[in-house]
Every structure is written in C-alpha cells, then in structure tokens.
Chain A
Amino acid sequence: MNLNLKARQNNTYDAIVVGTGISGGWAAKELTENGLNTLVLERGRNVRHVEDYPTMLMKPWEIPYNNQVPPEEAKHYQKQMRTGYTIRQTTKHWWVRDTDQPYEEVKRFDWIRGYHVGGRSIMWGRQSYRLAPMDFEANAKDGIGVDWPIRYDDLAPWYTHVEKFAGISGEALGLPQLPDSDFLPPWELNCLEEVLKETMAERFNRVLTIGRTANMTQPHNGRGKCMSRNLCSRGCPYGGYFSSNASTLPAAAATGNMTLRPHSIVDSVIYDEELGKATGVRVIDAETLETTEYYANVIFLNASCMNTTLIMMNSISDRFPNGLGNDSGELGHNVMDHHFRVGANGEYDGFEDRYYWGRRPTGFYIPRYRNLERNDRPYLRGFGYQGGASREGWQRGVRELAIGEPLKEFVQAPGRWTMGMTAFGEMLPDHSNRVYLDRDKTDKWGQPTLVFDVEFKENEYKMREDMKNDAAEMLEAAGMKNVRTFDDPGGPGLGIHEMGTARMGRDPKTSVLNGWNQVHACKNVYVTDGACMTSAACQNPSLTYMAFAARAANHAAEELKKGNL
C-alpha cells in the first residue's frame, strides 16, 4: 500500500468535531452514541474532570492575595478582565491570555474566552432557558434580518433530550414566552425575593421565578447533586453542574468511539472541488506547530461563534473564495450579544431575624413581559431580569464608626437585606455589525486574527430606558429604600453570548446555514454553536446551542446512513 494512502487512512474518521465546549461536547456525545468513529479536536490543553480542577477545594485562607492577581500577571489579561470578575487566583487558568490571543477592535468588543478541553462550559453561569415560539417567529413578523428556517416545535423535543441529560433545575410556569424545561426541583427563593415576587404578581401582573440553572438539586445520571458552595467556576468535585468535562465528554468516551486530541488548532476546512464537499480539516499542533490533515465524512464546527467564523473565513477554495459557505456574503455579519448591566438595586428594612443557609448558585429570574401580545413600546422585542437578594456581610464594617472589639461584634450580625437586578435585553441582527479577518496580523501560531466592528444601536438604547426604569419601579413597589439605578452597557460581547455570524435561514442568498445547521452549499459541514443564531431572543443561549447540536448530530448520523452526505 502506498504510504500516503496509509497515512490518510490512519487520519480518517467518520466524523470530526471542532471544539469541546458546550456545543462541541454535545456533538461529540450524540455522534459517538450513533456509532460514528469521531475525532474531537480542541486547541487547548486537556482538562480531566475533577483531577484538573486545581482550585476547586481551596478555602478562603488558602487563596493568596484575597484572590487578586498581581499587575504583572494582570497585564496579560486586559480584555478578559473587562468583566470585572474573570481573572482571579482561583480561576485565572481558565482564560486566554490576551497577549497570546490578540484581536482588534474598530469599536470596543469584549471577547471573553477560554481555550481548553471543556471550553467555557467550565466557567459559564449555567442559566438555562428555552427560546419560545414567539422568538422563532419574531424576525418574520417584524421584517428584521431573515426568518428562522425552523419553528419552536422543531427544536422542542431536542430541548427535552438535552435537559434530561444535563440536569436543569427550575419551576414550571406554563408561560408562552418562556416554555418550561424538563426540570429537576427548583432552588428556593429567599425571604426578600418572595416579597418582590408577591408585589409583582399583585401590582404588575408580572412573574418572578427562581433562576433555571444547570446546577442539580438532586443526584442525576451518575453525577452528584450541587452542595451549595457557589464555587462553580473553579470546577465541581461532585459534577454538580453541567460541563462538557463532567457530562458529555465522559459519555462520548464511554462509547469507545471518541478520539480526543487536545493542542489541535483547526486552521481550516478542506474542500474538495471535485466531490463538491468537505473532506477534512487542517490542524496546527499548538505545541510543535506541525500541520496535519484529518479526514471525515462529516464535520461539526463548534469552536464557539467567533472561532467557527474565523475557521470558515480562513477556508478558501476556488468554489468559496470568500470563505466556506459564504455565497451570501453574510458570514461574519449580524453579530449579536445580549445587552445588560442596566437595572436597579436597593435596601430593605425588615426580616432582621431571618437569614439563609448555604450559597445558592443561581438568583431569581423575571421572564420577559414587554411587547408580548402587542408591540406597544417604542422598541422591538424585550428583556428579562436576573437578580438576587442577600444580607450585607462583614465588608460593611469598613465604613462604620466602630473599631476594636466593637467592630468584631458589629460585623458578627449581618447587615440589611439588599436586592439588585440587571436586565438582559435582545439585540437585533444588523448587517453592519460584523467581524472580519486581518490576514496581516497573525498570532503566534500563524493564524489570522479577528477584527470586531460591532455596536449597540437605537433599538437597544431605547429598550434600556425600560430596563432601567422598570427595575426601579418594581423594587420601590416592593418597599425597597434607597433605590438606585445603573446603566453601563460596556462593550458588546460582555454578555458573553456572542452569536449570529453564520446565521440559519431559508434562502442560501441571505444566510449561511439551512434548517438542519448544514452549510447551504456544503452539506457535510454543520455549525451548531452561537454562529448559527438567526435572532438572539433575550434568554441565555447555551441551552439552545445544546439542542441544536444534538438535533444536528442525529440528523447527520441519519443522513450518513442514507448515503446523503
């Protein structure tokens, strides 16, 4: 046998998945469970569940510098630090160094990333909400962007499928604008949150519920329940929250069909002009810089919205001179995120004799209530709130008159109840919000870098008025004192829900992917991360990426069997 042919055979699989984050983990699980021999490529290092969570059990007195990072180290993370909470002693190893992974900003864009096995599934906030029927119909109704090529009913069974496995806790409400998930028991609201809930029901006919979260309130599928430590972003010793590392990747490995290859940067997809389809991917070894080609019948791009877009733009062929599948010219356009960091907080007199036990890994949620039946606000779409109440801790003693033993006594009693909430609002797709490649500015692996040209527009700014004022109004109605509003959008991207750059649609002339997440003109390439999103809705999106990934992977397995790919 010819040596080249042999090498090619050794590097050939049924399927390739690029990326091991929330969406890639699901693609890997479903493809391997369908019996497909699957190569899973991840640009970062391996992270084994539990073994590779170095800080998960550290107690406050074991954490240096009160969890802060010295300036010489911080200078490598200047963009990652824009969140205000990402770069800590206990979590810094999960984030990219901006000095190694540069990008450019025509306008400020906060691109918050983690490159390692598990991706951002390790550090995510775990808030999990279905999109609603109205969300899939909104673009068509408003004449914005393009219509989704599917409807809620197409995705609903797949939401159920992923929820049953992932373990989502929450309260069933039967709301049309926020369909229920297949829930584990909900977390509890606390005393003050119950007050707000009652006020909202009585005075505003609005709903407040406990946050729906991928933190498990009971053991589930072989994973332990959450022990209320609220230290999830360090990794969980019990597997108490959904991550690829704790959930989907072990399931994929258990089939015996997965080959996981860390340190493998996918540079581009190989397109065969004669066959008219993709045959594999080019991979740069992150440690040796060597390039290798891997081949498969079907390729899943799950490198996260922007990285999937980068790979597609970097996949140039005679057929696709402007990037794989970019006949429409929409690749890289219609960047969306959620806009947030607007809302209110306040203080409450009362419940001095009440407190709580444990550290709850979620807060409350107020489902969207604006523009539901009628569009009666000066903007399109809507927003939901996330918030929480708690009692002030020992920190309040700094600005008190007491010192010495009286200071100790003072802080031994908790302070007032306070409550705050921020809205998460829908951002409309807009062709002018885009990301593109700078081929002259490469990173240390020789990869082109991304340039962001994205901004919030009029609809978002108009919506923020309601987002701010409604929050203050509801807190005041619930009897809160000293209610203060805040409004600081930061850059797009700060919601860490970036999406939309290879949107799904019915027409190949105006969209990149079809209703099965296949590239219109290259059907054996599927994209099921945030890039596929046609509109953003206002719900946290990752549960939807899970459902898309599972649905598409099962579609791909069937199509392969039928010989259609």
Chain B
Amino acid sequence: MEKIDRKEAIKRAAALMGGVVFAPSILGVLKGCTASPGPWQPELFSSRQAAFTTAMANTILPGAAEQGVPAFIESMVKDIYTEEQREMYIDAMDTLIEKCVVETGSDFAELDEQAQFDFATIENTNAVEAGYAEGPQFFLILKELTMVGFFTSEYGATQVLRYQEIPGVYQGCIPFEDVGKTWATS
C-alpha cells in the first residue's frame, strides 16, 4: 500500500469502502456466501489470517464469529473484490498482523480479550482520525465488512437491530420508543 501515491490511494479507498456498505437498497437460488452460523473452512486466507480475522471480527462486534462473519468477510474479499483490491486487502491484513506482533509481542488471536480490545481500539481511533484524506484505512475496511456481515445476519438484524419483514403501513413521524431500535433495513 505504501507504493501507490496519495491521490490514487484515496480513489481506491473510496472504491473499496463505497462499494461495500453504502449500497442502496441467476434465477433460482442465488449462489454465494451470507453470514450464517456454521463451521468455516477458509479457502483464501491462511490459518494465521483466518485466526486474525475471527479474533478481530469478534473484538469489533462480540458474537460476530458465531454468526459466520469471518467466512462472510473472506467470501467478499475472495469473490467480490477485484484482483487488485484483493491483493491490497491481503497485504494490508498481513501488515496489521505483523504490527500487532511488533507492538504486543504476540499474534492478535493469541492476546487476551482486554489486550485485543485495547489494540483494536487504538487502531480504530487512528483510522477514524486519519479520515479520508490519508488514503485507505484497512482497519475501517475490515470494520465495515464485519458490520455488514453482522447486521445483515439474522441475529444481528433481528436481535441487535429492529427488523420488520412486512411493515404493512408507513408512519412518518412516531415516537422512537414505538420502534425502540435502529431499523436494520431502509
């Protein structure tokens, strides 16, 4: 990632980020991965990368691994990213894995929960504060993938947020308590 110039980096970050979350709202069964509970046999990630992804997803959103979010993340990187985006992602992931070893003396996946939370918190703060101007922030890409996987999973949408499959009517201005939580879909 260091090799590309800043303008290009911002462009690519926008491409990576923009595509994933801010999506507005063949035939027969659609094939491909959704976040759903079940075992995960990584196909693209090494076991070290998979362990990192699992631990980090669970740190960003506790319970994410149980909902199949790590497998979802891998499928997005493997099947939806372009080759270039995929390489960038893997490089940046390896860089962060190494950075954690340098700073803490241990693989992220091996740290205890508190140390994981502390490391991830610093990474998140740095990435948020760097903002768009500093180019692609790998941590935010990973965070976004984790959030997308989690909040579109059945558990995340229905238990953490509010999901109503068939609302029946539209009411434009009601007390927030009547809904209680953020809508999972818009």
**A61-B34, A66-B76, A68-B19 given; A404·B60 CB < 8 A:** yes
* A407 sits at the interface (CB 8 A): yes
Q: Mark A343-370, 1 if CB is under 8 A from B, else 0.
A: 0000000011111111110000000000
- Point out the residues of chain A lying under 8 angstroms from B169, CB to CB: 228, 357-358
When the two chains form their complex, are residues A358 and B171 in contact, meaning their CB atoms are under 8 A apart? yes
Distance between Cα atoms of A522 and B17 in the complex (Å): 55
Q: Mark A30-72, 1 if CB is under 8 A from B, else 0.
A: 0000000000000000000000001100111111111111110
Neighbour of A354 across the interface among B60, B154, B174, CB < 8 A? B174
Interface SS majority for chain A: loop
Distance between Cα atoms of A414 and B149 in the complex (Å): 19
* A191 sits at the interface (CB 8 A): yes
A-B contact count (CB 8 A): 194
Q: Nearest Cβ distance between residue A72 and chain B, in whole angstroms? A: 9
* B24 sits at the interface (CB 8 A): yes
Stretch at the interface among A15-23, A156-164, A390-398, A524-532: A390-398
When the two chains form their complex, are residues A412 and B161 in contact, meaning their CB atoms are under 8 A apart? yes
Stretch at the interface among B1-9, B45-53, B89-97, B177-185: B177-185
Q: Interface residues of A, CB < 8 Å — how many?
A: 64
When the two chains form their complex, are residues B32 and A357 in contact, meaning their CB atoms are under 8 A apart? no
When the two chains form their complex, are residues A89 and B32 in contact, meaning their CB atoms are under 8 A apart? yes
**A227-B167, A355-B176, A393-B186 given; A408·B61 CB < 8 A:** yes
Q: Nearest Cβ distance between residue B121 and chain A, in whole angstroms? A: 6
* B166 sits at the interface (CB 8 A): yes
Distance between Cα atoms of A331 and B127 in the complex (Å): 57
Distance between Cα atoms of A457 and B180 in the complex (Å): 50
Stretch at the interface among A129-137, A182-190, A296-304, A513-521: A182-190
When the two chains form their complex, are residues B170 and A360 in contact, meaning their CB atoms are under 8 A apart? yes
Distance between Cα atoms of A191 and B140 in the complex (Å): 32
When the two chains form their complex, are residues B128 and A400 in contact, meaning their CB atoms are under 8 A apart? yes
Distance between Cα atoms of A228 and B168 in the complex (Å): 6
* B54 sits at the interface (CB 8 A): no
CB closest residue in chain A, given B58: A404
Neighbour of A71 across the interface among B82, B172, B182, CB < 8 A? B82
* A411 sits at the interface (CB 8 A): yes
* A110 sits at the interface (CB 8 A): no
When the two chains form their complex, are residues B60 and A407 in contact, meaning their CB atoms are under 8 A apart? yes
* B165 sits at the interface (CB 8 A): yes
When the two chains form their complex, are residues B117 and A404 in contact, meaning their CB atoms are under 8 A apart? yes
When the two chains form their complex, are residues A67 and B179 in contact, meaning their CB atoms are under 8 A apart? no
When the two chains form their complex, are residues A357 and B31 in contact, meaning their CB atoms are under 8 A apart? no
When the two chains form their complex, are residues B33 and A61 in contact, meaning their CB atoms are under 8 A apart? no
- Point out the residues of chain B lying under 8 angstroms from A71, CB to CB: 80-82
When the two chains form their complex, are residues B181 and A412 in contact, meaning their CB atoms are under 8 A apart? yes
CB closest residue in chain B, given A399: B128
For B19, B28, B184, the residue with the greatest tally of chain A CB atoms inside 10 Å of its CB is: B184
Distance between Cα atoms of A351 and B176 in the complex (Å): 9
Neighbour of A403 across the interface among B117, B144, B161, CB < 8 A? B117
Distance between Cα atoms of A405 and B181 in the complex (Å): 15
When the two chains form their complex, are residues B167 and A357 in contact, meaning their CB atoms are under 8 A apart? yes
* A98 sits at the interface (CB 8 A): no
When the two chains form their complex, are residues B143 and A403 in contact, meaning their CB atoms are under 8 A apart? yes
* B151 sits at the interface (CB 8 A): yes
- Contacts of B8-43 to chain A: CB distance below 8 A: 17, 19-28, 30-36
When the two chains form their complex, are residues A68 and B23 in contact, meaning their CB atoms are under 8 A apart? yes
* A333 sits at the interface (CB 8 A): no
When the two chains form their complex, are residues B140 and A398 in contact, meaning their CB atoms are under 8 A apart? yes
* B173 sits at the interface (CB 8 A): yes
When the two chains form their complex, are residues A59 and B154 in contact, meaning their CB atoms are under 8 A apart? yes
Distance between Cα atoms of A60 and B36 in the complex (Å): 11
Distance between Cα atoms of A193 and B121 in the complex (Å): 38
B interface, size bucket: 35 or more
CB closest residue in chain B, given A68: B80
CB closest residue in chain B, given A92: B26
* A509 sits at the interface (CB 8 A): no
* B157 sits at the interface (CB 8 A): yes
Distance between Cα atoms of A85 and B24 in the complex (Å): 7
- Point out the residues of chain A lying under 8 angstroms from B178, CB to CB: 355, 357
- Point out the residues of chain A lying under 8 angstroms from B19, CB to CB: 68
- Contacts of A381-422 to chain B: CB distance below 8 A: 390-391, 393-395, 397-401, 403-405, 407-408, 411-414
- Point out the residues of chain B lying under 8 angstroms from A229, CB to CB: 165-167
- Point out the residues of chain A lying under 8 angstroms from B163, CB to CB: 59-60
When the two chains form their complex, are residues B75 and A65 in contact, meaning their CB atoms are under 8 A apart? yes
* A230 sits at the interface (CB 8 A): yes
When the two chains form their complex, are residues B151 and A394 in contact, meaning their CB atoms are under 8 A apart? yes
Distance between Cα atoms of A60 and B157 in the complex (Å): 8
Distance between Cα atoms of A403 and B146 in the complex (Å): 11
* B105 sits at the interface (CB 8 A): no
Neighbour of A193 across the interface among B20, B81, B151, B172, CB < 8 A? B172
- Point out the residues of chain A lying under 8 angstroms from B59, CB to CB: 403-404
**A55-B30, A354-B176 given; A404·B171 CB < 8 A:** no
Distance between Cα atoms of A58 and B182 in the complex (Å): 20
Distance between Cα atoms of A407 and B161 in the complex (Å): 12
* A93 sits at the interface (CB 8 A): yes
- Point out the residues of chain B lying under 8 angstroms from A70, CB to CB: 32, 79-80
- Point out the residues of chain A lying under 8 angstroms from B175, CB to CB: 353-355
Q: Nearest Cβ distance between residue B172 and chain A, in whole angstroms? A: 4
- Point out the residues of chain A lying under 8 angstroms from B171, CB to CB: 188, 356-358
Distance between Cα atoms of A357 and B163 in the complex (Å): 11
CB closest residue in chain A, given B152: A60
Q: Nearest Cβ distance between residue A501 and chain B, in whole angstroms? A: 30
Neighbour of A355 across the interface among B149, B165, B168, B174, CB < 8 A? B174
- Point out the residues of chain B lying under 8 angstroms from A67, CB to CB: 23
Q: Nearest Cβ distance between residue B101 and chain A, in whole angstroms? A: 20
* B160 sits at the interface (CB 8 A): yes
Neighbour of A66 across the interface among B148, B170, B173, CB < 8 A? B148
- Point out the residues of chain A lying under 8 angstroms from B157, CB to CB: 59-61
- Point out the residues of chain A lying under 8 angstroms from B179, CB to CB: 355-357
Q: Nearest Cβ distance between residue A106 and chain B, in whole angstroms? A: 28
Additional 12 contacts, C-beta under 8 A, given A359-B185, A393-B186: A59-B165, A65-B76, A66-B148, A188-B170, A194-B173, A227-B167, A228-B167, A229-B165, A355-B174, A355-B176, A358-B164, A398-B147
A-B contact pairs, 29 of them (CB 8 A): A61-B153, A61-B154, A61-B157, A65-B34, A66-B23, A66-B76, A68-B76, A85-B24, A93-B26, A227-B168, A354-B176, A355-B179, A356-B170, A356-B171, A357-B174, A360-B170, A394-B184, A395-B21, A397-B147, A398-B147, A400-B128, A403-B117, A403-B124, A407-B61, A411-B160, A412-B160, A412-B181, A413-B181, A414-B176
* B contact residues vs A (CB 8 Å cutoff): 17, 19-28, 30-36, 59-62, 75-76, 79-82, 117, 120-121, 124-125, 128, 140, 143-144, 147-149, 151-154, 157, 160-161, 163-176, 178-179, 181-186
